[in-house]
Amino acid sequence: MKTLEETKKWLEWLGGSSDRPPSGGCRWHPWARGIWWGILAILIACFCGQSSRFLYVDF
């Protein structure tokens, strides 16, 4: 059960939900965090529908 809680804390920190890393965690270099956020932004752009070929029709 403790592993699940630790995983949840790490995912919340990586996703930007919490400001401080989990206890006992390593500090990321600012460049590494920038790359992480860049990857997340690219994934969001790929899956948000703006870059897909799906045709939206508004009535």
The confidence score (pLDDT) of residue 29 equals 78
Tens digit of each residue's pLDDT (9 = 90 or more) over 1-44:
788 888 888 888 878 887 777 776 566 677 888 898 899 888 88
For 8-32, give one letter per residue: b (16+ CB within 10 A) or e. Answer: ebeeebeeeeeeeebeeeeeeeeee
Whole-number pLDDT of residue 38: 92
Question: In whole angstroms, what is the distance from residue 15 CA to residue 5 CA?
Answer: 15
12: left (phi over 0), alpha (psi -120 to 50) or beta: alpha
Q: Is 60 exceeded by the pLDDT of residue 46? A: yes
Q: Is the pLDDT of residue 51 over 60?
A: no
Task: Quote the pTM value.
Answer: 0.45
- For residue 3 the two structure tokens come to 């592993």
